[in-house]
């Protein structure tokens, strides 16, 4: 997979590129709008990560040109502006997703993968992590074959964690997916729900699946802890 | 109100001064006229007395008293003219006295004798029957040395009648004149102040959201025009200041977010390095938590600034506040259960409001979160949504630690904390209630807090939905 990153802030560009390369993506970087446009129109990238405030050619304009030219690569817009008007304008210009700075890299990665239509798990309606089974269709959860009763929020949380198994999910991402934007800033609600979820999912088992990643968030994984 | 009182004060002063001037003028006029009429009458009588003396009494020696009497009668006809003439000899006996006047207002024979050492004098004599005579008298000595007292009198009543008439006219006319002046003044002042009223009404409507509007300019080429122009210039400067602060927020937003992104991403990539020693990973995690907190504070500050700068009402819809409160409370119930706090929700009746649903939900979330934070285990929180007097009221009350009276006025201030030591939310920045306040203000709502030592009560008063847009 070949990605183009257009970002004028060198440090942001470098750290994002490094992170994406670590995930085995081929990443090209453009530090200004003009170069970005030349690269985007010359190579058929699988995905473009685009900053909006660019010298030379601004991101929204670049996006418009790309779409006019028939460029089909999904575009993930990165920006420090988060007014509703900006969002609408860029979606209309042809953006596929939107991420506001400062973002967690984990979230960028999840979104990039979602845009590349590479779901983290197969089409099987049942998500499996070690001996945990989460059934999309029936919303039933089993651990070691034993049925676990969950409330709807607990289920939504577990499903979100399981569908991104092995990935670290920040509290903000969890809130956005499981709750809604009104709960932003209320990160302790995530902690409380995770604690309840642990009591039901992990307590009776030796292998603890739900991990706390200090400073970042939570992760559902069966990998041994380091 | 001020405008009314300016009008009232102007007219009160005006009427007072006018009345004073009128009264003064009236009094002056009255006394001036009285003096003029009286002296005029007196002079006429005195002149007549001198005429009688010079023409008739001077030759009494040749003509005799009887001739003098006849001449006086013929020349002056005192009875017909309602006059009084008496000629008294030095010994006090009467040489001539006029008869009863035609209007029979007095009887000349009953008049007391006047005496004075002065040559000429005058006197008012009151007679029975309410008649007053003004008498001019002349002590006269004929060339032969015979002395006579010549008295010529006329009734004073016409003068008094005239003065009475004048005072009546003044007493009646003055209040009428003052009333007319007040009425005219009221209209004139009203007209003069009408532009002020317009300016005040328009100024009342201008808020930070419509700073591009201007006050009506009173084209009067006077102080009012200058005032309206200066006010408009002031609004212009305010508008500039607001635009600047908005731009500042947008700029600062960009400038702060980029370094935060770098710091965060670098730390994340470090902590995901599996070769890292656990204690370093712990340290990086701790730093990341602080970065997270910093990012959240920046977010919240910008959210407040945007709200205060006036967001568009594009996302406003009509919805049921009671339902919103109930579902939000349900979503947060586990937070409360975690501390064994019971949350009761009294929101049975639908209460429609207009607003940004997500923002108002944030109000409910922040108020409930706040209540849960400051209520000890096994406490009680009550959420209530009611409609009364054209307001939708959302109330969150708890029986927690409450808020000291001296902190009450500050709880909605940014970064305010009642007591740093007792906060149980190390992640918070004291912005939750500021956001509540900003959202409420943007919705034209009022948020109040009260605390009587045990627990506290937050109340949000929203204007009720105007018309049902669903139908």
Mutation target vs A (from B262, B306, B321, B355; most A CBs, 10 A cutoff)? B262
**What's the CA gap between B23 and B35, in Å, rounded?**
18
The answer as to whether B26 is a domain residue is yes
Residue B131 has pLDDT above 70, yes or no: yes
Q: What is the CATH number of domain A126-220?
A: 1.10.10.10
> Tokens 């070691």 label which residue?
A144
Question: Distance from B216 to chain A by nearest Cα, in Å?
Answer: 33
B205-255 pLDDT, tens digit each: 887 667 888 888 877 778 888 888 898 999 999 989 888 877 787 677 668
Residues B308-337: pLDDT tens digits? 766 666 678 889 999 999 999 988 888 888
Return the residue of B nearest to A81 by Cα: B254
Is B266 in Cβ contact with A101 (below 8 Å)?
Answer: no
Judgement on whether residues B13 and B158 belong to the same structural domain of the protein: yes
Locate the domains of chain A by residue range.
2-115, 126-220
- Number of inter-chain CB pairs under 8 A, A vs B: 122
**Domains in chain B, number:** 3
Option in A81, A184, A187 nearest B254 (CB): A81
Interhelix angle for A10-22 vs B223-271, to 10°? 30
CATH of the domain at B324: 3.30.565.10
B328 part of contact set with chain A, CB < 8 Å: yes
- Asked if residue B329 and residue B422 are part of one domain, the reply reads yes
B91 shares its domain with B237: no
- Residue B344 counted as domain residue: yes
Paired sense of beta strands A168-170 and A146-148, if any: unpaired
Is the bond into B260 cis (omega within 30 degrees of 0)? no
Residues B266 and B328 in one domain: no
Domain boundary among B148, B163, B178: B163
Place of tokens 């406003």: B316
| CB pair distance less than 8 Å for B254 and A168 | no
B89 located within any domain = yes
In the prediction, which pLDDT does B436 show?
A: 92
Q: Which residue of A has its CA nearest to B293?
A: A185
Nearest CB neighbour to A19, from listed B269, B306, B365? B269
What is the radius of gyration, based on Cα positions, of chain B?
50
User: Quick one: B10 and B137 in the same domain?
Assistant: yes
Q: What is the model's pLDDT at position B3?
A: 52
- Residue B193 inside a domain? The answer is no
Beta strands A75-79 and A47-51 are: parallel
A2-115: which CATH architecture? 3-Layer(aba) Sandwich (3.40)
Write the DSSP assignment of chain A as a string of letters. Answer: -EEEEE-S-HHHHHHHHHHHHHTT-EEEEESSHHHHHHHHHHS--SEEEEESS-SSS-HHHHHHHHHHTT----EEEEES---HHHHHHHHHHT-SEEEESS--HHHHHHHHHHHTT--SS-S-SEEEETTEEEETTTTEEEETTEEE---HHHHHHHHHHHHTTTSEEEHHHHHHHHS-GGGTT-THHHHHHHHHHHHHHTTT-SS--EEEETTTEEEE--SPP-
A12 touches chain B (CB under 8 A): yes
Residue B11 is part of a domain; what is its CATH number?
A: 3.30.450.20
Q: Widest CA span of chain A, in angstroms?
A: 60
* pLDDT for A121: 45
What mean pLDDT, rounded, does chain B reach? 85
Range of the domain at B232: 223-308
Q: How far, CA to CA in Å, does A133 sit from each of A124, B45, B209?
A: 11, 138, 54
To the nearest whole Å, the CA of B294 is away from the closest chain A CA by 10
Average confidence (pLDDT) over A75-82: 82
Six-digit token string for A57: 């050619």
Q: Do B389 and B263 reside in the same domain of the chain? A: no
Q: Are A1 and A46 in contact (CB under 8 A)?
A: yes
Task: Give the gyration radius of chain A's Cα atoms.
Answer: 19
A176-216 residue pLDDT tens:
788 877 787 677 888 889 999 999 998 888 888 999 988 88
Same domain, B254 and B346: no
Using an 8 Å CB-CB cutoff, list chain B residues near A100.
Answer: 257
Last residue of a domain, one of B308, B329, B348: B308
Do residue B285 and residue A196 have CB atoms under 8 angstroms apart? Answer: no
| DSSP 8-state symbol, B144 | T
Cβ atoms of residues B284 and B260 within 8 Å:
no
In a domain? residue B208: no
Neighbours of B13 (CB within 10 A): 11
Work out the angle at residue B179's Cα, subtended by the Cα atoms of residues B173 and B181, and round it to the nearest 5 degrees.
100
**Residues B259, B352 share a domain:** no
pLDDT tens-place string over residues A1-43? 889 999 988 888 999 999 898 888 889 999 999 999 999 988 8
Indicate the angle between helix axes B278-308 and B432-442, nearest 10 degrees.
20
The answer to whether ipTM exceeds 0.90 is: no
Distance from CA of A214 to the nearest CA of B (A): 5
List all residues 6 or more positions away from A225 whose beta carbon is below 8 Å from its beta carbon. A211
Given an 8 Å threshold on Cβ–Cβ distance, is B332 in contact with A189? Answer: yes
- Confidence bin at B168 (pLDDT 50/70/90): very high
Chain B: nearest CA to A70, how far in angstroms? 31
| B112/B28 same-domain check | yes
């Amino acid at each position: 997979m070949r990605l183009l990153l257009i970002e004028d802030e060198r440090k942001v560009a470098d750290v994002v590129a490094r992170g994406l390369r670590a995930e085995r993506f081929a990443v090209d970087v453009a530090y200004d709008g003009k170069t970005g446009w030349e690269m985007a129109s010359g190579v058929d990238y699988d995905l473009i990560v685009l900053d909006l405030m660019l010298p030379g050619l601004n991101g929204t304009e670049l996006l418009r040109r790309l779409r006019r030219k028939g460029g089909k690569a999904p575009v993930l817009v990165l920006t420090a502006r988060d007014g509703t008007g900006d969002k609408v304008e860029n979606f209309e210009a042809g953006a596929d997703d939107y991420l506001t700075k400062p973002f967690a890299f984990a979230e960028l990665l999840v979104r990039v993968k979602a845009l590349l239509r590479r779901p983290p798990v197969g089409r099987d309606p049942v998500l499996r992590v070690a001996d945990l089974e989460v059934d999309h269709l029936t919303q039933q959860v089993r651990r070691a074959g034993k049925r676990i009763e969950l409330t709807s929020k607990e289920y939504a949380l577990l499903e979100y964690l399981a569908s991104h198994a092995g990935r670290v999910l920040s509290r903000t991402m969890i809130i956005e997916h499981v709750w809604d934007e009104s709960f932003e800033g209320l990160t302790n609600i995530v902690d409380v729900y995770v604690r309840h979820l642990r009591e039901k999912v992990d307590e009776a088992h030796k292998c603890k699946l739900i991990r706390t990643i200090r400073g970042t968030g939570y992760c559902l994984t069966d990998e041994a802890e380091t | 109100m001020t405008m009314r009182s300016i009008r009232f004060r102007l007219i009160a002063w005006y009427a007072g001064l006018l009345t004073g001037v009128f009264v003064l003028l009236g009094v002056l006029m009255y006394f001036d006229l009285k003096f003029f009429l009286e002296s005029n009458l007196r002079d006429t009588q005195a002149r007549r007395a001198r005429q009688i003396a010079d023409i008739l009494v001077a030759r009494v020696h040749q003509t005799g008293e009887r001739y003098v009497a006849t001449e006086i009668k013929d020349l002056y006809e005192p009875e017909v003219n309602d006059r009084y003439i008496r000629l008294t000899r030095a010994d006090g006996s009467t040489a001539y006295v006029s008869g009863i006047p035609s209007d029979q207002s007095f009887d000349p024979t009953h008049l007391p004798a006047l005496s004075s050492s002065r040559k000429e004098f005058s006197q008012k004599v009151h007679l029975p029957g309410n008649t007053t005579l003004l008498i001019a008298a002349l002590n006269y000595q004929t060339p032969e040395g015979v002395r006579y007292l010549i008295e010529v009198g006329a009734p004073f009543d016409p003068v008094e009648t005239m003065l009475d008439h004048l005072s009546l006219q003044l007493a009646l006319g003055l209040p009428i004149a003052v009333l007319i002046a007040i009425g005219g003044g009221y209209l004139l002042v009203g007209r003069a102040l009408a532009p002020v009223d317009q300016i005040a009404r328009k100024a009342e409507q201008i808020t930070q959201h419509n700073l591009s509007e201007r006050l009506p300019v009173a084209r009067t080429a006077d102080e009012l025009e200058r005032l309206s122009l200066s006010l408009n210039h002031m609004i212009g400067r305010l508008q500039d200041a607001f635009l600047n602060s908005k731009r500042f927020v947008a700029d600062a937003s960009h400038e702060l977010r980029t370094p935060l992104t770098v710091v965060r991403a670098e730390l994340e990539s470090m902590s995901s390095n599996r070769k890292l020693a656990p204690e370093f990973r712990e340290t990086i995690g701790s730093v990341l938590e602080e970065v997270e907190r910093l990012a959240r504070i920046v977010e919240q500050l910008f959210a407040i600034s945007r709200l205060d700068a006036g967001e568009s009402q594009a996302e406003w819809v009509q919805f049921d506040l009671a339902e919103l409160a109930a579902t939000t409370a349900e979503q947060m119930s586990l937070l409360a259960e975690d501390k064994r706090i019971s949350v009761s929700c009294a929101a049975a009746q639908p209460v429609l409001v207009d607003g940004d649903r997500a923002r108002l939900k944030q109000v409910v979330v922040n108020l409930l979160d706040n209540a849960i934070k400051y209520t000890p285990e096994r406490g009680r929180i009550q959420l209530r949504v009611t409609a009364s007097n054209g307001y939708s009221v959302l109330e969150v009350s708890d029986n927690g630690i409450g808020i000291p009276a001296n902190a009450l006025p500050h709880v909605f201030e940014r970064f305010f904390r009642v007591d740093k030591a007792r906060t149980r939310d190390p992640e918070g920045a004291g912005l939750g209630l500021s956001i509540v306040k900003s959202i409420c203000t943007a919705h034209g709502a009022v948020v109040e807090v009260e605390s009587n030592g045990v627990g506290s009560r937050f109340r949000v008063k929203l204007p009720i939905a105007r018309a049902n847009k669903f139908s």
